[in-house]
Amino acid sequence: MGKKEFHYTTAGDGVEYSFKFEIQSLIGRSFFSKSPPLKNGYCNLGCGHRFLDDYVNSDFFQFNILRTFLNKPKLNFNLDWELDMRYKIKCKNNFFEGIFLEHVIEHLKINDAIFLLKELFRILKPGGTLRISVPDLEKYISFYNKKKVHKKFLNWKHIPSEALWSLNHNFGHQSAYDFQLLSDLLLRAGFKEFRKCSFNMSKDPKLRVDDIGRSWESLYIDASK
């Protein structure tokens, strides 16, 4: 049986995409930026299509007029809160009890990720929890070094370096993290208490909403203000 062909696809690549993205950001920040609703006091930031009931489900600006102009399909859902996470967040200090950030910051350049974490520290209530998950660089390196890992890594068994390429470049990824690097970013953002966790093992029961489909590759961290 022949090797399955690996596709080097990079969502979000190219000058044209970047230009359209920045135009959408500029218009969104200028005309559609607003403060979040409170709902249950928890935010699902960078939610994509994975909505959580009673949470403030939030992501990048999705207004349909501009999506039509950019030849992008209209969405069949409405976000509670639209924003560009690279810029100052329109939200009061100490607003959320908890923030759920699942596979988001790897899509940001590292300086933008630090800025975002500082903003999340600001809008999180004292004693509140930030739940972060990212693809775990350590797991990918373990696979590359032929250590025992989840069977899904075997999709890259013929050329293991493709796993690292995918981690760093596919799906619009712009950075990769292990616990040590992400801990350093959290410290810079102001967090003093954080710990590595397992799947769905957050200290806050309301943040035990991890996507099981991503558990095989994920690093989980709880950070408290």
Strand, coil or helix: 130: strand
pLDDT band of 145, cuts 50, 70, 90: very high
Predicted TM-score of the model (pTM): 0.88
Residue 32, in any domain of the structure: yes
Domain encompassing residue 178: 15-224
Residues 6+ apart with CB under 8 A from 4: 155
Residue 18, pLDDT above cutoff 90: no
Separation between Cα atoms, residue 86 and residue 108, nearest integer Å: 8
Q: How many domains does the chain have?
A: 1
pLDDT at 48: 92
Bridge-partner residues for 102, per DSSP? 133
pLDDT band of 73, cuts 50, 70, 90: low
Q: What's the average model confidence in pLDDT over 120-139? A: 98
Residue 162, in any domain of the structure: yes
Sign (positive/negative) of CA torsion 175, 80, 64, 83?
negative
Residue 5, in any domain of the structure: no
Look at 31 and 75; give whichever has higher pLDDT.
31
Which tokens in the block code for residue 22?
């920045």
pLDDT at 29: 94
Query: How many percent of the chain have pLDDT more than 90?
Result: 76
Which run of H or of E encompasses 197? strand 193-197
Residue 10, in any domain of the structure: no
Separation between Cα atoms, residue 132 and residue 120, nearest integer Å: 11
Residues 6+ apart with CB under 8 A from 147: none
